[in-house]
Amino acid sequence: MTSLTWKRDGADWVLLAGKRRMGRVKPDIRWPGMWRSTLSGGRLSDMANLAWAKNAVLVAAEREIEFEDRTRSGKHPSKCAENRGVFEGTAPPVAGTAEARG
């Protein structure tokens, strides 16, 4: 499990997973007491109070980490596909029709 921590960076709050930056919350320049999170491409989210803005970043980071863990575990050798078929034995799973046998 990855440990997530909030650190101050000037006026901003940064969410870190070890040394990896998972998100940032910055104060709104026009409205005091309101905050925005940084989205992909440098866009800013809608305004929110600090708790809601931090929660939005935290939820997105948890989702990303969970996705990465699932992707990694899918490629793990212990999860490789089996090489044998579903049906055991030599008989076909469905009997042929009378025309095919005839």
For 56-97, write each residue's pLDDT tens digit: 999 999 999 998 888 876 665 565 555 555 556 666 666 666
User: Alpha-carbon distance 13 to 90, whole Å?
Assistant: 64
In a domain, 86, yes or no: no
DSSP 82: P
Would residue 100 count as lying in a domain?
A: no
> What's the domain count of the chain?
1
Q: Is residue 87 part of a domain?
A: no
> Is 37 a member of any domain?
yes
User: Percentage of residues in the chain with pLDDT exceeding 90?
Assistant: 53
Average pLDDT (5-27) is 95
Question: Using an 8 Å Cβ cutoff, are 94 and 87 in contact?
Answer: no
> When comparing pLDDT for 2 and 5, which is higher?
5
Calpha distance 94→8 (Å, rounded) = 66
**Rounded to two decimals, what is the model's pTM?**
0.66
Q: Does 96 map to a domain?
A: no
Segment 1-15 shows an average pLDDT of: 91
pLDDT number for residue 71? 82
CB atoms within 10 A of CB 44: 13
pLDDT at residue 40 in the model: 75
Are 28 and 19 within 8 A, CB to CB? no
Match 């104060």 to its residue by tokens. Answer: 27
**Hunting for tokens 């980071």 — which residue is that?**
61
